[in-house]
Amino acid sequence: MMAETVKFGIVGTGVGANFCANGLSMIRDSGVAELVAVTSRREERAKEFASKWKLKYWFTDHNEMIEKAPIDAVIVSIPHYMHHPISIDAMKAGKHVLVDKPMAISLKEADEMIEESKRRNVKLGVILQSRFDPTFRKVKSAVDEGRFGRMILGEAIVEWFRTQEYYDSSSWRGRWATEGGGALINQAIHTIDLLIWIMGSPKYLWAQIDTVAHKIEVEDIAVAAIRFENGALGVIQGSTATYPGLPTRLEIHGTKGTAIIEGEVLKRWSIMGEEEIIAEKSKEGLKSWARPELVPATNHASLIRDFAEAVRDDREPFVNGQEGRRSLEVIMAIYKSGRSREVVEFPLAD
Ligand SMILES: NC(=O)c1ccc[n+]([C@@H]2O[C@H](COP(=O)([O-])OP(=O)(O)OC[C@H]3O[C@@H](n4cnc5c(N)ncnc54)[C@H](OP(=O)(O)O)[C@@H]3O)[C@@H](O)[C@H]2O)c1
């Protein structure tokens, strides 16, 4: 029997929304998911987006889309502070919600969203698409199988560069109340999520945050030293102030070996007694650390497909609300430690 297609409406028409629309177009032939509607506050933008992605319906108010469009699920890809209220509106109307990263700007908001999805019996997913990248999955599986031995050190290094114009160009960026933070919550979150997905949850951390190269409220540089629950140590470095911007780096070290991933490229895979892999075929042209819009939407396509199948099969999506909350908790702990100069323990009290 052919299963029903899960129909999506999207709130947002920016970079994140275009990634999702592109990902959905890549899986359209599967019959699992289809994007049919969009909401933008501006009529012109809504029409333009609808025409670009061949959508039947466009709206200028998300509640109108939720009420009138024939949709099962809402994708929320707008400024961070609006993730919570719009996701709650959609869930209250019985729609499943797939929300972009960060799922919210506080743990209280994240918890309310998780609660609402349970109360309404709808799925809640978070767009942390790197968890679907084959390279990171390969490392995760090898760690879980113990091939690197006992984990001893994990490092997430995101040394990117954003200009002052980037922050000035949209009023929601660079402010605690609207972006919820800076380099960590917006740029480094994917790599932080991969670090804790692979290494496990932190037990405690100590961090420093600062604003060194932009006129913004939020941090443009941060470092954290972590002790994981499994006893391993960890380091997080995140910045939007490090010119010219370098490839993201994830390093995983166990007692029997190391994996290093730069950008999405496996640079080093060394396990005692096995043949070493040094630098997989280069994907240098991608330069995701400098031009995110050049990154293909393949991982978005995989994540949306998983979410649609979760809706169809009534199971949890791979990156559900609880999983999406984990990187937010780490980032909030770094902000707390950075402000107080004290060690912060997990679970974090909000
Ligand atoms: N998963 C990923 O890899 C990825 C990549 C990029 C971005 N993102 C996420 O996508 C989300 C949106 O970011 P973006 O980079 O797409 O931002 P953006 O390009 O500035 O777009 C923001 C969108 O939000 C809408 N919007 C609604 N209310 C707004 C308000 N009060 N102020 C400003 N814009 C408002 C804007 O459309 P109208 O003004 O027409 O309503 C626009 O469509 C964020 O959560 C971001 O972290 C995720």
Q: Per residue in 95-147, pLDDT tens? A: 999 999 999 999 999 999 999 999 999 999 999 999 999 999 999 999 999 99
Closest CA to 89 of 111, 121, 67: 67
- The 8-class DSSP code of residue 256 comes to T
Selection from 265, 263, 235 nearest residue 247 by Cα: 263
What per-residue confidence (pLDDT) applies to 275?
Answer: 87
Could you tell me if the CB of 87 is within 6 A of ligand 1?
no
The domain that holds 205 is classified in CATH as: 3.30.360.10
Say whether 16 sits in a helix, a strand or coil: helix
Give me ligand 1 centre to Cα 203, in Å.
33
Do 138 and 62 share a structural domain? Answer: no
In a domain, 61, yes or no: yes
What's the 308 CA to ligand 1 centre distance in angstroms?
Answer: 22
Same domain for 243 and 207: yes
Q: Where are the alpha helices (DSSP H) in the chain?
A: 15-26, 43-52, 62-68, 83-92, 107-120, 134-144, 164-169, 189-199, 298-313, 321-340
Kindly state the tokens that stand for 39. 């909401």
| Minimum mean pLDDT range among 3-7, 22-26, 177-181, 339-343 | 3-7
Q: Report yes or no on 189 lying in a domain.
A: yes
Answer yes or no: do 62 and 143 share one domain.
no
Q: How close is the Cα of 212 to the center of ligand 1, in Å? A: 25
| Atom 17 in ligand 1: residue holding the nearest Cα | 14
Of 97-101, 189-193, 303-307, 345-349, the one with minimum mean pLDDT is 345-349
Phi first, then psi: give them for residue 6, nearest 5 degrees. -80, 125
Same domain? For 144 and 257 the reply is yes
Decide if 309 is inside a domain: yes
Q: How far is the CA of 276 from the centre of ligand 1 (A)?
A: 42
Q: What is the mean pLDDT of residues 44-59?
A: 98
> Other CB atoms closer than 10 Å to residue 164's CB: what's the count?
12
- Stretch 224-253: mean pLDDT, rounded? 98
Domain shared by 220 and 178, yes or no: yes
For residue 350, the model assigns a pLDDT of: 66
Q: Longest C-alpha distance within the chain, in Å?
A: 61
Q: What is the CATH number of the domain that holds 92?
A: 3.40.50.720
Q: Which of 246, 3, 266 is nearest to 142 (CA)?
A: 266
Query: What is this structure's pTM?
Result: 0.96
- Ligand 1 close to Cβ of residue 248 (< 6 A): no
How remote is the CA of residue 82 from the centroid of ligand 1, in Å? 10
Residues 158/288, Cβ–Cβ less than 8 Å: no
Range of the domain at 304: 6-130+298-320
Are 149 and 248 in a shared domain?
yes
Give the whole-angstrom CA distance, residue 142 versus residue 276: 14
Could you tell me if residue 340 is inside a domain? Answer: yes
The answer to whether residues 224 and 309 belong to one domain is no
**Pairwise CA distance, residues 234 & 224, whole Å:** 8
Q: Nearest C-alpha to atom 34 of ligand 1 is from which residue? A: 79
CB 242 within 8 A of CB 223: no
**Is residue 138 situated within a structural domain?**
yes
pLDDT value at position 2? 46
> Percentage of the chain with pLDDT > 90?
92
Same domain, 78 and 144: no
- Domain-located, residue 244: yes
CA-nearest of 204, 228, 248 to 336 is: 204
The answer to whether the CB of 40 is under 6 A from ligand 1 is yes
Residue with tokens 């969009």: 38
Within a domain: 283: yes
Q: How many domains does the chain have?
A: 2
Say if ligand 1 is within 6 A of residue 162 CB.
no
CA pair distance 141, 127, nearest whole angstrom? 21
pLDDT value at 149 more than 90: yes
| Span from the CA of 187 to the centroid of ligand 1 (angstroms) | 14
Q: Give the range among 13-17, 138-142, 258-262, 293-297 with minimum mean pLDDT.
A: 293-297
**Helix, strand, coil share (%) of the chain residues, nearest 5:** 40, 25, 35
| Ligand 1 contacts CB of residue 242 (under 6 A) | no
Residues 155, 54 share a domain: no
Same domain membership, residue 161 and residue 91: no
278-326 pLDDT, tens digit per residue, is 886 555 544 555 666 667 899 999 999 999 999 999 999 999 999 999 9
Q: Could you tell me if 103 and 248 lie in one domain?
A: no
Could you tell me which of 151, 101, 108 has the C-alpha nearest to residue 292? 101
Establish if 1 belongs to a structural domain. Answer: no
> Could you tell me if 156 and 281 lie in one domain?
yes
Handedness of CA 192, 244, 297, 55 (dihedral sign): positive
CA of residue 78 to ligand 1 center, whole Å: 4
Query: What average pLDDT does the segment 244-257 reach?
Result: 97
Ligand 1, pocket-test mutation among 78, 168, 319, most atoms within 8 A of CB: 78
Is 127 close to ligand 1, i.e. is its CB under 6 Å away? yes
